[in-house]
Amino acid sequence: MTASLIGRPVKRKEDRRFITGTGHYTDDLSRPHQTHAVFVRSPHAHAKIRKIDAAPALALPGVIQVLTGEDLKADNVQGLICGWMIHSKDGSPMKAGGHPALALGKVRYVGDHVAVVIAETPAAAKDGAEAVVVDYEELPSVTSTGDAQSSSVQIHDEAPRNTVYQWALGDEKATGAAFANAAQVVELNLVNNRLIPNAMEPRAALGEYDSGSGIYTLTTTSQNPHVARLVLSAFVQIAPEHKLRVIAPDVGGGFGSKIFIYPEETVCVWAAKRVGRPVKWTAERGESFLADAHGRDHVTHGALALDKDGRVLGLRVKTTANLGAYLSTFSSAVPTYLYATLLSGQYNIPAIYAEVDAVYTNTAPVDAYRGAGRPEATYVVERLMEEAARKLKLDPAEIRRRNFIREFPHQTPVILAYDIGDYDASLKEAVKRADVSGFAQRKADAAKRDKKRGLGFSTYIEACGLAPSAAVGSLGAGVGLWESAEVRVNPTGSVEVLTGSHSHGQGHETTFAQLVADRLGISIDQVEIVHGDTDKVQFGMGTYGSRSAAVGLSAISLATDKVIAKAKHIAAYVMEVPEDDVEFKDGEFAAVKTNKKMTFGEVALAAYVGHKFPTDQIEPGLKETSFYDPKNFTFPAGCHICEVEIDPDTGVVEIVKFTAVDDFGTVINPMIVEGQVHGGIAQGIGQALLEHGVYDKESGQLLTGSYMDYCMPRADDLPSFEVGMTITACPSNPIGVKGCGEAGAIAAPAAVMNAITDALGVKEFDMPATPEKVWRALSGQRA
Amino acid sequence: MYTKPFSYHRPKSLEDAVALFGKSSDPRYLAGGQTLIPTMKQRLAAPSDLIDLGGLSALAFIRKSADMLMIGAGTRHAAVATSADVKSAIPALAYLAEGIGDPAVRHRGTIGGSLANNDPAADYPAAVLGLGATVKTTKRSIAADEFFTGMFETALQDGEIVTEIAFPIPEKAGYAKFPNPASRYAMVGVFVAKVKTGVRVAVTGAGPCVFRVPQMEAALAKDFSDGAIANIKVAADDLNSDLHGSREYRAHLVTVMARRAVAGA
Ligand SMILES: Cc1cc2nc3c(=O)[nH]c(=O)nc-3n(C[C@H](O)[C@H](O)[C@H](O)COP(=O)(O)OP(=O)(O)OC[C@H]3O[C@@H](n4cnc5c(N)ncnc54)[C@H](O)[C@@H]3O)c2cc1C
């Protein structure tokens, strides 16, 4: 009996190539006769384009073509789309302004795409881009979320008051009644700061056109190549779907920012035909700051109604969400269905009412970024909970316990139906690991050293693996959110697994292989995970929203079941026993009550030679497919506890301890899961303490356009994390997994800020908690 | 990230370097390249000729005498940070070098490059001014008090090469840096030294150029303890103000860092 591979910290199969430099990222690829693209970008936040003069660029050596929005128009290339329709409270559809890949008459943010210069070398293209003369008529701009609706600046004609939609969810009346009956009301103004994603690999694209076959190929940094192909063909109309191949090879991180269909990639594949040669573009880091979709950027007022014992009666939330200058691919869904639906947290809240206004501003588009809506929701709920505990003089763990949901399934007032969870278990485990009982002593000790200590909780919930497709469709999604898998057994018994999920750091090549190897009883080396190529993989919705294990691996699991069923059938024929007598265990098909048995490899060969079974009843070959649509979302949840120590002299916040106890359901590879938790927490702490995308109010320039000013978290900003798990297996998918990719980024900001406000003794305090802000808060107290 | 085209030279002697400089239309010396190369990649600089001083072994040395420490301009930050001579003579200088950038930067960047560049947030200027060192060049010797003339500006003339920095060995010295959280350059860095001529306090990061704080120097000359300067504040008016820290906050940090530097000296 071989030990199960499930639950084992198998080393990542893909890491050898990544750390020895033998991976293949888009920028590693070069084609004969390839040309290079550099984009001319707007230096202004908002301006009319009077004229684009390409002649000086075309006069330079090596410059081949300069293309603009007019050229796209001439080729009938359509604008980029937002794939999720949101309707306002009054029933009107969201007000989407045009989103041309290259500007038509107007630019709307610094970094907006004006033209592309195609040249023989990157340096020549760069020279060309500097030489294009653009005559702008500058317009006033608005960049701040809070100012967008009152500003006289009009960004899109279609959207008066720069308002994309005014959406609401929940029961306004019932919530009003809850507040009327409340013994206590707790209110907070909260800002969820703008973040810039910063994947290690910048975006890149290599467009090719084969004039013989008429087939376009786009190799690009995508988290979802099939969705990119669908959008580029059906909506942008670059080419029919069967004439467009999209390949996402090794991709170095995405965090959401590589889900979207961007102008640069679109232009490269289109221009390949125009130029008649391959066109390659790789973003410089500065371009990533300017033109990758940013994350978060909410301004919120939240109010919690409670009875005298601290039981929540109602929650009211009013949020303004900044969507930037254009609606990016899934932007509209993030502050609505990915946000307000999570406002019930882990709590039994009878009434919730949320209003969300989405606004245009002269900033980079804002879309899903690790957590996407759920960190924003958790931040609102958990800051309010902590504040309620302080106001009612309750222990922060106790107020949470009093409100926990304990019966499942649980229907919240905001659409979601939680299938399973044990919030007491993760809270209890986290409280123990964080040594909460010793905190008072540690705080006293710190005070003796003139330091201020604080403790903060965050008991978060998230919804992952959005599903089923019919449900997301009814909420406005333009796509279904199932996943596909194909398990292809070779005659020698090795296996290729084709998945529509895409790995860009998550370790699918290991986790997925672990499950398949375990099921088939073969070595993990015999399993190859194939992903990221529309020519190889049947179809796929890609990787985001912690969906790959819950949805993608579930599809693989089901396809594997089908393979085993067929193999059993064939084995029965070969061994000449009734099928019911065949047992499959540890990679062997054994005929009970006999000593006949066949290995998985022997059955695979038998399937392909087709000698020993009736091929009119059983088709030869061994390959099965599954298109899996889950019954429900999954609901990872847990408890994070942060302890900080503040130096009042400088305002520096040190995270002295960070404890995370999560319930991700079944864990396939605990090492990979822990890695995901660590990365998520680092990003969450980054948001709370360090990261902030800032635009200048006057000029609309991005002030944090490089690592000199945009502060990424580094190892020495972080403590060694205390990570634990409690498990309730997910009943909504065949493997019991929930998803772990975003938890840290969702839970951590509230835990950190609750700890800081505890240490400072202040109620409202916005992220990032920079030293100067903390110092000022303390100086105010001293004065 | 593509620079404009340029010619590259690797002279064998200082004389050749200076001669090449004289012959080129828009030349720049290249040392560790940790400032110049990024600037060229961003196309903020586009010299016609790069004259690489990296091959000049005459510029890479650390020598100690009874009362002086001599460091060649081509000495890498990592060499200063780990040198036994530096650690024994001026431990605060080794500590300062160890806190510059990251390991890659420290193994390329040089003290001469840092001083010639005179970034308002660089660390070395605080040590050079704080210790009252002498900057030696292909033409002359320049006292620290004369060398740093403004933001990214020094007393160096066109084509003049920094060859050596001569530091007096202090009785005591300390450095305290409050790094900019993003860039990790000094948002405020204070170097305090007790040398033969008295006490010197030099502040980098806070203003447009490294500067001394005479009030603190006087107070410390009487009583070299952190308490002696606890109530001395520099005026905020002339300090830098940006996303990471207002001038008031920087002014406050100057006192905090000065105290820490004294306490650590
Ligand atoms: C990521 C990063 C982080 C950094 N962090 C810090 C930090 O925390 N603190 C800090 O102080 N610095 C920091 N730096 C800057 C670093 O210390 C540089 O090495 C230094 O500023 C320049 O030295 P260099 O030898 O690289 O000079 P180069 O970049 O080669 O040259 C800089 C300038 O000096 C001129 N020059 C060079 N040598 C001489 C010479 N001998 N005589 C005359 N002119 C000369 C060049 O012509 C050029 O104009 C950082 C740099 C990077 C890239």
Q: What is the DSSP string of B130-191?
A: HHT-EEEESS-EEEHHHHEEETTEESPPTT--EEEEEEEPPSEEEEEEEE-TTT-SEEEEEE
Q: Does A583 touch chain B (CB under 8 A)?
A: no
A676 contact partners, CB below 8 Å, separation of at least 6: A506, A740, A741, A743, A744
- Pairwise CA distance, residues A501 & A566, whole Å: 25
Q: What is the pLDDT of residue B1?
A: 62
**CB of A144 closer than 8 Å to CB of A321:** no
Q: Do A609 and A652 belong to one domain? A: no
Q: Do A583 and A641 belong to one domain? A: no
Q: Do A706 and A616 belong to one domain? A: no
Structure tokens at A720: 């060694």
Instruction: Provide mean pLDDT across the span B190-209.
Output: 97
Q: Do A662 and A780 belong to one domain? A: yes
- Residue A752 placed within a domain: yes
ipTM: 0.95
Q: What is the pLDDT of residue A545?
A: 86
Classify the phi-psi angles of A196: left when phi > 0, otherwise alpha if psi is within -120 to 50, otherwise beta: beta
Ligand 1 pocket, B122 CB below 6 A?
Answer: yes
Summarised one tens digit per residue, pLDDT across range A470-516 is 888 888 888 888 999 999 999 999 999 999 999 999 999 999 999 99
Ligand 1 atom nearest residue B99's Cα: 8
**CB of A110 closer than 8 Å to CB of A705:** no
- Pairwise CA distance, residues A735 & A609, whole Å: 33
- Residue A748 placed within a domain: yes
Q: Which of A510, A488, A480, A467 is nearest to A224 (CA)?
A: A480
Q: Which residues of A584-611 are buried (b: 16+ CB within 10 A; e: fewer)?
A: beebebbbeeeebebbbbbbbbbbeeee
- Among the three residues A576, A607, A628, which one is the final residue of a domain in this structure? A628
Bond before B125 cis per omega within 30 degrees = no
Q: Do A749 and A638 belong to one domain? A: yes
- What φ, ψ does residue A332 adopt, rounded to 5°? -65, -25
- Residue A755 placed within a domain: yes
Measured CA angle at A390 (ends A385, A392), to 5 deg: 90
Ligand 1 atom nearest residue B35's Cα: 29
Q: How many domains does chain A have?
A: 2
Ligand 1 pocket, B34 CB below 6 A?
Answer: yes
Q: Which of A643, A640, A646, A603 is nearest to A621 (CA)?
A: A603
Domain boundaries, chain B: 7-52, 57-264
Which of B117, B139, B188 is the best mutation target for the ligand 1 pocket, counting ligand atoms within 8 Å of the beta carbon and taking the most? Answer: B117
Interface contact flag, A709 B43, Cβ < 8 Å: no
A156 contact partners, CB below 8 Å, separation of at least 6: A95, A97, A98, A108, A162, A360
To the nearest whole number, what is the mean pLDDT of chain B?
97
To the nearest whole angstrom, how far is the Cα of A642 from the nearest Cα of chain B?
20
Q: Which residues of B211-239 are buried (b: 16+ CB within 10 A; e: fewer)?
A: bbbeebbebbeeebebebbeebebebeeb
Q: Do A606 and A651 belong to one domain? A: no
According to DSSP, the residues that pair with B30 across neighbouring strands are B52
Classify the phi-psi angles of A198: left when phi > 0, otherwise alpha if psi is within -120 to 50, otherwise beta: left
B7-52 and B57-264: same fold?
A: no
Expressed in angstroms and rounded, the spacing between residue A372 Cα and the centre of ligand 1 is 40
Residue-level length of chain B: 265
Residue-level length of chain A: 783
Structure tokens at A380: 């609102």
Structure tokens at B171: 């009785």
- Pairwise CA distance, residues A325 & A312, whole Å: 38
According to DSSP, the residues that pair with A486 across neighbouring strands are A498, A625
Q: Which of A666, A662, A646 is nearest to A654 (CA)?
A: A646
CATH code, A653: 3.30.365.10
Expressed in angstroms and rounded, the spacing between residue B249 Cα and the centre of ligand 1 is 27
Summarised one tens digit per residue, pLDDT across range A139-158 is 999 999 999 999 999 999 99
Structure tokens at B143: 């006292």
- Pairwise CA distance, residues A108 & A103, whole Å: 9
Q: Do A598 and A722 belong to one domain? A: no
- Residue A350 placed within a domain: no
Q: What is the pLDDT of residue A783?
A: 42
- What φ, ψ does residue A650 adopt, rounded to 5°? -115, -20
Q: Does A122 touch chain B (CB under 8 A)?
A: yes
The DSSP 8-state label assigned to residue A79 in this structure reads: P
- Fold (CATH) for B57-264: 3.30.465
**CB of A355 closer than 8 Å to CB of A318:** yes
- Among the three residues A575, A593, A628, which one is the final residue of a domain in this structure? A628
Bond before A468 cis per omega within 30 degrees = yes
Q: Is A152 exposed, middle or buried (0-12, 13-18, 19+ CB in 10 A)?
A: exposed
The SS3 assignment for A226 reads: helix
Expressed in angstroms and rounded, the spacing between residue B59 Cα and the centre of ligand 1 is 15
Q: Is the pTM of this model over 0.95?
A: yes
**CB of A153 closer than 8 Å to CB of A359:** no
Bond before A263 cis per omega within 30 degrees = no
Q: What is the pLDDT of residue A26?
A: 98
Q: What is the pLDDT of residue A1?
A: 45
- Among the three residues A610, A628, A646, which one is the final residue of a domain in this structure? A628
According to DSSP, the residues that pair with B68 across neighbouring strands are B168
Mutant choice from B6, B246, B253 vs A, greatest count of A C-beta within 10 A: B253
Q: Which of B118, B139, B137 is nearest to B73 (CA)?
A: B137
- Pairwise CA distance, residues B257 & B130, whole Å: 14
The SS3 assignment for B109 reads: coil
Interface contact flag, B256 A286, Cβ < 8 Å: no
- Pairwise CA distance, residues A501 & A545, whole Å: 11
| H or E element at residue A123 | helix A122-131
Chain A residues with CB under 8 Å of B38 CB are none
Which amino acid, residue B177?
A: K
To the nearest whole angstrom, how far is the Cα of B249 from the nearest Cα of chain A?
6
Which of B105, B147, B152, B162 is the best mutation target for the ligand 1 pocket, counting ligand atoms within 8 Å of the beta carbon and taking the most? Answer: B105
Interface contact flag, B245 A130, Cβ < 8 Å: no
Q: Do A615 and A657 belong to one domain? A: no
Q: What is the pLDDT of residue A2?
A: 60
- Looking up tokens 């125009």 gives A274
Interface contact flag, B244 A770, Cβ < 8 Å: yes
Structure tokens at B15: 């004389």
Q: Report CA-CA distances (Å) from A62 to A207, A589, B48.
A: 19, 65, 20
**CB of A76 closer than 8 Å to CB of A237:** yes
Q: Does A690 touch chain B (CB under 8 A)?
A: yes
CATH 3.20.20.10 fits B7-52, yes or no: no
Q: What percent of chain B has pLDDT over 70?
A: 100
Task: Give me the DSSP letters along A532-549.
Answer: SBTTTSS----S-TT-II
B78 contact partners, CB below 8 Å, separation of at least 6: B97, B103, B106, B107
Q: Do A696 and A641 belong to one domain? A: yes
Q: Do A587 and A652 belong to one domain? A: no
Q: Do A558 and A638 belong to one domain? A: no
Low-confidence ranges of chain A (pLDDT < 70): 1-2, 781-783
The SS3 assignment for A231 reads: helix
Structure tokens at A366: 């804002």
Ligand 1 pocket, B202 CB below 6 A?
Answer: no
- Pairwise CA distance, residues B182 & A717, whole Å: 11
Q: Do A617 and A526 belong to one domain? A: yes
Q: Which domain holds residue A446?
A: 416-457+634-783
Q: Report CA-CA distances (Å) from B19 to A76, B29, B261.
A: 60, 12, 43
Which of B28, B29, B41, B152 is the best mutation target for the ligand 1 pocket, counting ligand atoms within 8 Å of the beta carbon and taking the most? Answer: B29
| H or E element at residue A316 | strand A312-322
Ligand 1 atom nearest residue B110's Cα: 25
If one counts every other C-beta atom within 10 angstroms of the C-beta of residue A433, the result is 17
Ligand 1 pocket, B118 CB below 6 A?
Answer: no
Expressed in angstroms and rounded, the spacing between residue B135 Cα and the centre of ligand 1 is 16
- Residue A327 placed within a domain: no
- Pairwise CA distance, residues B20 & A484, whole Å: 65
